[in-house]
Amino acid sequence: MAGGYHLPDSRGRFGAYGGRYVPETLMEPLIELEEAYKRLRDERSFREELDVLLRDYAGRPTPLYYAERLTKELGGAKIYLKREDLAFTGAHKINNALGQALLAKRMGKTRLVAETGAGQHGVATATVAARMGFRCTVYMGAEDMARQAVNVYRMRLLGAEVKRVDSGSKTLKDAINEALRDWATNVRDTHYLLGSAVGPHPYPMIVRDFQSVIGREIRAQILEREGRLPDLVVACVGGGSNAIGTFYPFIEDRDVKLVGVEAGGEGLETGRHAASLVGGSPGILHGMYSYVMQDEYGQIRTTHSVSAGLDYPGVGPEHAFLKEMGRAEYVAVGDRAALEAFLTLTRLEGIMPALEPAHAIAYIMDVAPTMRRDDIIVLTLSGRGDKDLDIVSRSLGGLF
């Protein structure tokens, strides 16, 4: 793949970003994980087992759908949607969960811990735990448990223990803290199945690699359909896993513009947002050196987004690097615009997106009309919206 682009380096760095800033107890487990992954990723039986699961269990490849009515309505570039909402369990999270669970099995682990924000990664982890016979604990912030209640029930039905996190902002950030504490306590039999391209090395690399199936499929599908690569590739960015999985196979294609859409919440000027790359600064959180939302004293700030999956004060280190190199561009879209985009896509295409990718839809609603009719946009629709119907109905004020 990507000929000249070989990151992270041996120290887990993407340029200055990344690294491994964790309590000593987690250092050896991370090194072990890195070694096991590097050994297994090229092993034929591992690849084959994963490919079969991705195909027969997760339903891959997911379709690349030409959104004809949305394209006409916006009157500009042709818009394709990569339908990760059709992947099993309803989001891209299953790609990474399957890969890491197989890895954990080969490493002889018997228990999985995970964090979850929107609940999609928790559901994906609980699902693969059921499928492969792991014990499973998922940490979830109290606020997220309230706003994504359906997913909490799904996880419990699948046999996972869902642990409520009441510390800090009671969202994804605090769930990751708790999962790290659990992992440090139970390292000998437990794998931490981290759900985004964040955290200490090797997680940003592993999660990227397992999610890159999205970008590889897009590449093959668009070449088949259009005979050329897209002009613009767009994905939403929480921790950045669906975005890096989408971008990675295009990094060397300089003519393909890459745009990541972060959560602008109530507006960047209000401080109530979750746009780490657009509105944050470099710092250390959850074992990585990357962009974080922090105050002038280095305390991590509480974030806000209507979408639980984007409500996180950090971002994967590879995105920090791509931003700094100017290879990808990052923008922020607020709660309101995301909700409007949710409704637009629902009404024009009959597709209810999760609120996370609704942010990306809102962005292309702005830029598609400024592009030419023979330009091509591909947007990763990272998940489906069922989990968000409560929030949507509340936010739309009983409109329906």
Partner 1 sequence: MSNISKVFKDSLASGRVVLIGYLTAGDPSLEQTRIYAEALVEGGVDVLELGVPFSDPVADGVTIQASAQRALAAGTKLLDVLRLSSTIKKSLKTPIVILSYLNPIYRMGFRKFFEEAGSSGVDGVVVPDLPVEESTEFREEARRAGVDTILLASPTTSEDRLDLILRASQGFVYLVSLLGVTGVRRELSPEALRILERVRARRERPYVAVGFGVSSPDHVKALVKGGAEGVIVGSALVKIVEENLDNPSKCLEQLRSFAARLKEATKF
Ligand X SMILES: Cc1ncc(COP(=O)(O)O)c(C=O)c1O
Q: Give me the least distance between CB of 197 and ligand X, in Å please.
A: 6
Residue 293's CB is within 10 A of a number of other CB atoms, namely 23
Token pair for residue 148? Answer: 């994504």
Is residue 383 within the footprint of ligand X (CB under 6 A)?
A: yes
Instruction: Tell me, residue by residue from 286 to 325, as one string, x for binding to partner 1 by CB under 8 A and - for no binding.
Output: xx----x-x-xxxxx-------------------------
Is 168 a binder of partner 1 (CB under 8 A)? yes
Q: Distance between the two ends of the chain, CA-based, in angstroms?
A: 48
Q: Which residues, in sequence order, are bridge partners of residue 140? A: 116, 164
Here the tokens at position 331 are: 């923008």
Q: Shortest approach of ligand X to residue 8 CB, angstroms?
A: 17
Long-range Cβ contact pairs of 26-33 (< 8 A, separation 24 or more): 26/180, 26/183, 26/184, 26/187, 26/200, 26/287, 29/183, 29/187, 30/200, 30/201, 30/202, 32/107, 33/103, 33/107, 33/191, 33/202, 33/206
* Tokens of residue 176, six digits: 């990751």
Helix-helix angle 317-325:203-211, to 10 degrees: 80
Separation of alpha carbons 282 and 289, rounded Å: 7
Using rule CB under 8 A, residue 15 touches partner 1: no
Minimum distance from residue 315 beta carbon to ligand X (Å) = 8
Q: How far apart are CA 213 and CA 228, in angstroms?
A: 19
Residue 196 touches partner 1, criterion: CB under 8 A: no
* 118, 285, 331, 377: residue in contact with ligand X (rule CB under 6 A): 118
Kindly name the residue from 34, 115, 178, 356 that is annotated as catalytic. Answer: 115
Least distance between partner 1 and beta carbon 325 (Å)? 22
Is 382 assigned a catalytic role?
yes
Q: Cα–Cα distances in Å, from 190 out to 156, 175, 177?
A: 19, 17, 16
Is residue 358 involved in binding ligand X (CB under 6 A)?
Answer: no
Work out what residue 285 binds among partner 1, ligand X, none; the CB cut-off runs from 5 to 8 Å by kind. Answer: partner 1
Residues 223 to 252 in contact with partner 1, rule: CB under 8 A: none
> What would the x/- binding string for ligand X be over residues 126 to 165, using CB under 6 A?
----------------------------------------
- The only residue of 5, 9, 16, 25 in contact with partner 1, by rule CB under 8 A: 25
State which residue, 261 or 365, has the beta carbon closest to ligand X: 261
User: Any residues with CB less than 8 A from the CB of 326 and at least 6 apart, and which?
Assistant: none
Q: Would you state the structure tokens that stand for residue 267, as one six-digit string?
A: 């507006």
Choose from partner 1, ligand X, none: what does 22 bind? Cβ within 5-8 Å by kind.
partner 1
Contacts of 52 (CB under 8 A, 6+ apart): none
Find the shortest distance in angstroms from Cβ 180 to partner 1.
Answer: 5
Q: Select the span of 25-33, 145-153, 221-229, 240-248 touching ligand X (CB under 6 A).
A: 240-248
Q: Beta partners for 250? A: none
| 281 given a catalytic annotation | no
For position 121 contacting ligand X by CB under 6 A, the verdict is yes
* Helix (H), strand (E) at residue 135: strand 135-141
Q: Which residues bind ligand X (CB under 6 A)?
A: 91, 117-118, 120-121, 196, 236-243, 309-310, 354, 356-357, 382-383
**Active site residue ranges:** 93, 115, 382
Q: Which residues bind partner 1 (CB under 8 A)?
A: 11, 19-29, 31, 167-168, 173-174, 177, 180-181, 184-188, 283-287, 292, 294, 296-300
